[in-house]
Amino acid sequence: MNHESISVFDMFKIGVGPSSSHTLGPWRAALSFTNSLEEKKILNEVKAIRVLLYGSLAKTGVGHGTDIAIQLGLSGDDPVNFDVHHIDAKISDIRLMKKILLSGKHEIDFNPAEDIEFLMGESLPFHPNALSFLVSLHNGENFAETFYSVGGGFVIREGESADGTANVHLPFPINTANELLHWCMKTGLNISDVVLENENSWRSESETKAGLINIWNLMKASIYRGCHRDGILPGGLQVKRRAAGLNKKLINGRLYADYDSWLTCIKQGGNDFSYILDWVSCFALAVNEENASFGRVVTAPTNGAAGVIPAVLQYFIAFCDGHSDNKIIHFLLTAAEVGSIFKKGATISAAMGGCQAEIGVSSAMAAAALTECMGGTQRQALMAAEIAMEHHLGMTCDPIGGLVQVPCIERNAMGAIKAITASQLAMQSSPDYAKVSLDGVIKTMWETALDMNHKYKETADGGLAVNVPLSLSEC
């Protein structure tokens, strides 16, 4: 059996909201496309470009900012470091001037209203999230390239294998939970230690650890920003931000100046169950309110589910004595490996599997990570992941207005709380008596995804998306 090699930094990508599959993926596809034009030395020969969006990208692309992401990608902007505060101005300039500077170097006529087409009734067979770039050159030649945004910011160019690092040979090849457990039992290593050994195939251990701390710094920055921003989310639903108000209520007048002093204030509030529960919800809401506002977040494993893992990790730091670099690194390593097993055995794309593929997977990732970091065994960690997913099976993706707001933001809070509950259950249980394995639940999740009606796969054609009038909807 071939083993797909997926790095922790494939699962945790730095990007811009609101969607990894509908925003980050198309952005990366457009960026990859323009880079290929430069590599072929034909960038300056381009006369015109049209972009065709198919399937789910067409149906919910406006609400997810797909057209915006494509324009930024064609412009050569990198989602990792592009200043999100400049998005509106740049998109406005392109719209008004009806011109775009490809790769920041070659200007062509480009009218987004005409040159980006949303083909609502068409879908390509490989994946619902497809986009094609149609190019005309000055010499009269025409050609097209098609990309698929397959979830979590992963992009596949038609005719090529998946992006990422699939060809790297790892000391501990893993496609399934049973294979992961095999290596843990054979070596005596924890899940995170096995994963760290694999990561050494790509880079030094010090680079991996530094990169993971950077990932956490970006996660906690999105939590902190989201907890201090009031207002209405963009998109027309008039959804009011709630994290800032909840943060103010829970802090209860205690003074702080930055993240560290804020964390101290949180700890000073005690360990009452409802107090902790409110904070977990607050952390998750904060991240996904940032995500909904085209803010910088980390796919975990997707943008729509970006709040679950940061919320559970912040809970671990604030209430479980997890405030050390080593514990944070182990948390993220374990979470990433569980996420990669779901990607290999099922999907992390809501357009393929509904919200079980996003919130469900992120909850399972967080549950396993928390369990290992709290002292659970390898089998208990995998049991926690199974429990978390088992209780997300069949969850639909039905965003109102095609926006990653309702019910998406609240689902991150629920996913985080389920992860903590799943971890607690696993820690108080013996895996010997478990009736369902993690591999079994992943197989079930994939079968459920295949059976699920397309209306509930990020198309805004069913569920809450059609049963809640836009004028009445509110978060």
pLDDT at position 1 is 54
Q: Cis check for the bond before 301: say yes or no (omega within 30 of 0).
A: yes
Domains of the chain in sequence order: 19-157 (3.30.1330.90), 177-467 (no CATH)
The DSSP 8-state label assigned to residue 457 in this structure reads B
Angle at 450 between CA 2 and CA 416, to 5 degrees: 85
pLDDT at position 200 is 97
244: CB partners within 8 A, 6+ apart: 226, 227, 228, 229, 230, 286
Tokens of 76: 């050569």
Nearest CA to 194 out of 179, 206, 204 is that of: 179
Q: What is the mean pLDDT of each successive set of 10 residues along the chain, which is 475 residues long? A: 86 95 95 96 97 94 93 96 94 97 97 96 93 97 96 92 66 98 98 98 98 98 98 95 98 97 97 97 98 96 97 98 93 98 97 97 98 98 98 96 95 98 97 96 98 94 89 45
448: CB partners within 8 A, 6+ apart: 353, 354, 356, 393, 394
Helix, strand, coil percentages for the chain (3-state, nearest 5):
55, 10, 35
pLDDT at position 321 is 85
Nearest CA to 254 out of 275, 223, 237, 277 is that of: 275
What is the pairing mode between strands 116-119 and 46-54? parallel
The rounded distance, in Å, linking the Cα atoms of 274 and 30 is 45
pLDDT at position 168 is 86
